[in-house]
Amino acid sequence: METASAVVSQRKQSSHVRFNEDEFARIEEDSVNTGKSIPTLLKEKYFSGPRPLPMISKEDLKKHFGELGRIGNNMNQLARRLNSGIREGFVEELREIQRLFDQHWGFLSSKYCRCDKSKWA
């Protein structure tokens, strides 16, 4: 079994973390209350559970961004036609593009996205 000093001597990498005032006040208070250093608190919290997994696989991202790219191409083709003076006959195509976009956006903005969806509306 390794001693605490052996583990510390093996740690050669470092990282710097920035906090806002509220975050720092909270972690500093926890540090004082527990008698543990801030780096120790952070390491214990991070390494105490399972490793975080990506929210979405690279393959799924490639698939959905590819589909969104194709949808964008369809929209550009329709925009060119509309801008050229042809104004009729595209209602169904626009509905299909909207449906496909909504389907892919729904997937990407569901449990896989930690973003504030209100900013995208």
Mean pLDDT by runs of 10 across the 121 residues of the chain is 60 88 95 94 88 76 84 82 72 79 76 51 44
Give the angle subtended at the CA of 121 by the CAs of 114 and 90, to the nearest 5°.
125
Residue 79 and residue 42 share a domain: no
The amino acid present at 106, given as its one-letter code, is G
Q: Is residue 32 part of a domain?
A: yes
Evaluate the CA torsion angle 71, 74, 78, 83 in order and state its sign: positive
Q: Is residue 27 part of a domain?
A: yes
What pLDDT does 9 receive? Answer: 66
Residue 73 and residue 46 share a domain: no
Residue 69 and residue 48 share a domain: no
Domain carrying residue 81: 58-113
Residue 66 and residue 39 share a domain: no
Torsion angle, CA of 6/12/16/22, rounded to 10 degrees?
A: -10
What pLDDT does 121 receive? Answer: 44
Name the domain count of the chain: 2
Q: pTM (2 decimals)?
A: 0.42
Which long-range contacts does 67-74 make (Cβ < 8 Å, 24+ apart)?
A: 67/100, 67/104, 68/101, 68/104, 71/97, 71/100, 71/101, 71/104
